[in-house]
Structure 1
Amino acid sequence: MSKRQELRAPALELNQANGLLELNERYREIFRSIVETYLETGEPVGSRHLSRQLPMTLSPASVRNVMSDLESQGLIYAPHVSAGRIPTQTGLRLFVDGLLEVGSIEETERDQLERQLLRDYHREHAVTSEVLAEAGDLLSGLSRCAGVVLAEKQVSRLKHIEFVSLDSKRALLVLAGDDGSVENRVLNLPEGLPPQALVEATNYLNAKIRGVTLPEAREKIEGELKARQAELDALTAKLVRSGLAQWSGGREDNRSLIVRGQSRLLNDLRAVEDLERIRLLFEDLESQKALIHLLDLAEKAEGVRIFIGSENNLFSLSGSSLIVAPFQDHERKIVGVLGVIGPTRLNYGRIIPMVDFTAKLVSRVLA
């Protein structure tokens, strides 16, 4: 290590407690300026530009020395031979976790979200799917990126359920909601089940489920079956349990994914490589199973989650970021997540409070 490197090394020390590089004031201001300029313009930042806009007096040569150290630590890099510097994925994570100043949602955005979500959905006929689709549209429009929502498939209030025989081994389970929605599942029948059991199971369930939600119906019927209060023979009770399991199990199949506004990602292309990145992102969004799995992870944490680039395999090629937050139902149970997908060059400070507020607002609407 040279004498020059020895003198500057303490400015970049790894904090073993949190795994983040701690920067002294000079390094922190230069690094912050590089990241903020890049997030705003999408362009590399040079030492001469930095020396003019920093809150301290530093020559371009001094700035270049600091940039060299930041680059050696993997926080910034030069995308072209004679260009300035932009943050790496590691640098973006350091910035988001330790240096980003997140305020409140802008008043105009708050008003628009409240006006459009609360105005339309404090009505008796409002259904969850409409609320979530509107939330996805609003997030896409305000962020100028893609809005994404994941939630359990909903039939608002149950109206009718029926087992329809397909053959000796299978039946179609039909679930109708009082909003006109219909969901179907094919299930395997218990061996030896008599034909009249389908009618008995249909009559039993319809006597219990009308006017309640699916989670409420499941809880009520499971309780009766467990307490042996249901007047059903063993095979018919097994059929009812199988039908309930078909709706409550198979999590991926029972999830509704809404992605809105992908075309907005094409509005801010700056180079040919941007177009290729967006093409790869569109392919990522088509991979719904992987996206659902990623959003499932976000449900397991409170508050806003941020996934940057290849931190998740889904975005390893497109280099995209996902900002999401969970929302709750009237029982304060997390029932889904919503957020924004876009390039890593997102305005994190603006979009994080926007996503957080929208998730809380949807929770209010669903309460």
Structure 2
Amino acid sequence: MLDDRARSLLNTLVERYIADGQPVGSRTLSKASGLELSPATIRNVMADLEDMGLIVSPHTSAGRIPTPKGYRLFVDTMLTAQPQMLSGGAMPEALSAVREQLQPDQPQRVIAQAAQMLSSLSSFVGVVTAPRKTSVFRHLEFLRLGVQRVLVIMVAPDGDVQNRVIFTARDYSDSELVEATNVLNAHYANLTLEEVRERLKAEVDQLRGEIAVLMQAAVQAGTEALAETQEQVVVSGERNLLGVQDFSDLGSLRKLFDIFEQKTELMRLLDTSSRAEGVRIYIGGESRVVPFEELSVVSAPYEVDGRVVGTLGVIGPTRMAYDRMIQIVDITSRLVGSALSQR
């Protein structure tokens, strides 16, 4: 619980430190805050803020810097920036460049361009997950390849085609494969693979045993095929972090670059973000995925035709201009969704 005076001084301290990167002293706070307070009063408030874990004195410096807890309070209660709509915002020139570059001809190209632009606009690291593929099939077909070998062809509503070879316990004739194809397309088309799997369990007694087994194998094959091509994380601008003065621990940087390389942990973080509405901010290791006190993540989901299909964001130091990062991430998420919806 902070009174107005303490809130004002903390707000000023965080803003000055973000802008200058230097510990903020009492004299600077007195001038920058506009409050008519004595140096002794400011020092007492600073001591209280330090006792609360909101600021800390680095080494022997007389000044203070925010802690992750201080940044969190600043972001949650003091930050006045709001995500900007596409028609407004503080970066019209950058927005024009973003619109021009995000051409909806190829989704993977849009994702790569978005990651590069997030990195360029923020001067930090841009991360984007590719759109999740739908598990709904519009058409499915079986083709006999040889003894106990069947090709499963699955066509999604957007025209995407997945092929998978399955090995069966017994050999199926062409007529049996045609029968299974017809049953699946007549009764299960436009359902998700999960829905098909559940219905097959309930309706197995109504289907001929051999056909039911083949259809269940097809559903499993389709699920595996989608998993192999599922979300990929595109990362851009990792080297930007090498120039950030806040990072002096090379060991932490190596661990961070390992995360960028492996991408599995990033997927977990961005998957969590995709279930939240709007821009989400993780500060100083709150994510447990990028567990570094010096790092923050600003992320947002993006939608295609009204459905959340992926997430994007910026990874940088805790000393970042959060109001600007929120705008960059929010606007880019809207533009990516708009570009992909035009396909």
Give the TM-score normalised by the residue count of structure 1: 0.74
Aligned to 1:254: 230
Distance 1:99 1:163, change over 3 A: farther
Compute the displacement of 1:145 (Å).
Answer: 0.9
Compute the displacement of 1:25 (Å).
Answer: 1.9
Aligned to 1:28: 7
Q: Distance in 2 between matches of 1:256 and 1:49?
A: 46
Partner SS state of residue 132, structure 1: helix
Per-residue CA distance 1:237-259 (angstroms, 9 max, x = gap): 222222222245x5x87221111
Distance 1:301 1:26, change over 3 A: same
Q: Distance in 1 between matches of 2:144 and 2:7?
A: 66
User: Which residue identity does 1:80 align to in structure 2?
Assistant: H
User: Which residue identity does 1:54 align to in structure 2?
Assistant: S
Q: Distance in 2 between matches of 1:198 and 1:348?
A: 63
Aligned to 1:360: 334
8 Å contact 1:93–1:308 — kept in the other structure?
Answer: yes
Q: Distance in 1 between matches of 2:144 and 2:294?
A: 47
Matched, 1:150 2:129: yes
Q: Distance in 2 between matches of 1:77 and 1:198?
A: 76
**Residues paired across the two proteins, number:** 326
User: Which residue identity does 2:296 align to in structure 1?
Assistant: S
Distance 1:236 1:144, change over 3 A: same
Aligned to 1:45: 24
8 Å contact 1:148–1:257 — kept in the other structure?
Answer: yes
Compute the displacement of 1:164 (Å).
Answer: 8.8
- Which residue of 260, 271, 275 maps to 1:285? 260
8 Å contact 2:144–2:174 — kept in the other structure?
Answer: no
Q: Distance in 1 between matches of 2:138 and 2:115?
A: 25
User: Which residue identity does 1:194 align to in structure 2?
Assistant: D
Compute the displacement of 1:352 (Å).
Answer: 0.4
Q: Distance in 2 between matches of 1:37 and 1:356?
A: 24
Per-residue CA distance 1:114-148 (angstroms, 9 max, x = gap): 2322xx22xxxx12111111111111110111111
Aligned to 2:214: 236
Q: Which has the higher contact order (CA 8 A, sep 6+)?
A: 2
Unaligned runs of 5+ residues in structure 2 are none
Per-residue CA distance 1:62-121 (angstroms, 9 max, x = gap): 21111000000010001112341111111111111111111433233322222322xx22
Q: Distance in 1 between matches of 2:107 and 2:48?
A: 51
Partner SS state of residue 323, structure 1: strand
Q: Distance in 2 between matches of 1:342 and 1:166?
A: 54
Matched, 1:59 2:35: no
Q: Distance in 1 between matches of 2:176 and 2:31?
A: 80
Match runs of 1:1-367 below 5 Å: 22-103=1-82, 104=84, 105-108=89-92, 109-117=94-102, 120-121=103-104, 126-152=105-131, 189=167, 192-194=169-171, 196=173, 200=177, 204=181, 218=192, 222=196, 233-247=211-225, 250=227, 254-266=230-242, 268-270=243-245, 273=248, 275-317=250-292, 319-330=294-305, 332-367=306-341
Q: Distance in 1 between matches of 2:126 and 2:244?
A: 18
Compute the displacement of 1:295 (Å).
Answer: 1.0
Aligned to 1:16: none
Aligned to 1:15: none
8 Å contact 1:304–1:325 — kept in the other structure?
Answer: yes
Distance 1:112 1:166, change over 3 A: farther
Q: Distance in 2 between matches of 1:61 and 1:186?
A: 77
Q: Distance in 2 between matches of 1:69 and 1:167?
A: 78
Compute the displacement of 1:175 (Å).
Answer: 7.2
8 Å contact 1:45–1:85 — kept in the other structure?
Answer: yes
Q: Higher mean Cα deviation, 285-294 or 88-97? A: 285-294
Q: Higher mean Cα deviation, 85-94 or 287-296? A: 287-296
Compute the displacement of 1:314 (Å).
Answer: 2.0
Q: Distance in 2 between matches of 1:96 and 1:349?
A: 9
Compute the displacement of 1:41 (Å).
Answer: 2.1
Q: Distance in 1 between matches of 2:116 and 2:214?
A: 44
Compute the displacement of 1:44 (Å).
Answer: 1.1
Partner SS state of residue 315, structure 1: coil
